[in-house]
Amino acid sequence: MKTFNWSGYEWITQERWGQIHPDKTVSWYDSSAVEVAYSSVIECDQLILKTHKNPKYFEQLDVESPIGVGLISCTTKFGHGYYEIEAKLPTAPSLWPAFWTWSYESWPPEIDIFEAYSNIKGSYFNWNIDALWGNFYKVQTNIHLGKTPDNYSLGAKNHWCGWRSPNKTFNKYSMLWTKDNIIIFYNDRPVRLIDDPEVMKQWEGKTMNVIINNGVRSDINVKNMKDSEMIVNYFKFTPSA
């Protein structure tokens, strides 16, 4: 695990509970897959989250995980406010990048500001009924609720991201979380509203852990996989009154 500062906050290069998910052992959270590099074009430190072959043996699981992925978890406990990143998604087959939060006090609740899924050609284009409404890409929101083991989700939904592929241009992904609602925005356009009072009760007394990650799907072809890079220009948080 590595600790570093970026965008004014301290981050670690793994989940706060460890380096590998016991049910998703095709990849592990690899500090060598996390870099910060200064961009003279936009005059800021860009975060680079990679996926690459880097096998590591985990004795507690008796498994060798073949793929190292870049994930960062903020050590700050965030409250109500506005959360935003600007990112260009990675390009390669069977990827699973995300920007999300989950409670420091329990899991769930979890808010997936976006989870994106590339297909076997490396594209996020998703031709289905959603595309008829302009939701061309598999870049989704979701909300996870309840108590383990009886947790549930409100359902993943694709949203309008614009005309250009999210892995070919930078887009803003953001969320406003208040006592009464959660609003998720793509490029400043509101795409999902959660305001059911019974649902919102599940965030009472909670603080949120912010996570940004590149990742791979379980169906990835490890032998023929391609390395990838997700680039994030910044993270910012503005507390609400």
- Listed by start position, the domains of the chain span 3-239
**H-helix or E-strand containing 199?**
helix 197-200
CA 80 remoteness from chain centre: 19
Give the CA angle between residues 16, 21, 25 to the nearest 5°: 145
Quick check: 175 and 236 in contact, CB under 8 A? Answer: no
Distance (Å, whole) CA 233 – CA 142: 23
- Which CATH number among 2.60.200.20, 2.40.30.10, 2.60.120.200, 3.30.1330.60 corresponds to the domain 3-239? 2.60.120.200
Quick check: 76 and 220 in contact, CB under 8 A? Answer: no
Coil/strand/helix, residue 26: coil
pLDDT tens digits, one per residue of 57-106: 999 999 999 999 999 999 999 999 999 999 999 999 999 999 999 999 99
Q: How confident is the model at residue 133 (pLDDT cuts 50, 70, 90)?
A: low
For residue 47, pLDDT over 80 is answered with yes
For residue 1, pLDDT over 90 is answered with no
Distance (Å, whole) CA 180 – CA 199: 10
- Return the biggest CA–CA distance within the chain: 51
The mean pLDDT of 198-204, rounded to a whole number, is 95
Q: Give pTM, 2 decimals.
A: 0.96
Dihedral pair phi/psi, residue 202, rounded to 5°: -70, -10
Q: Which has the minimum average pLDDT: 69-78, 106-115, 158-167, 210-219? A: 158-167
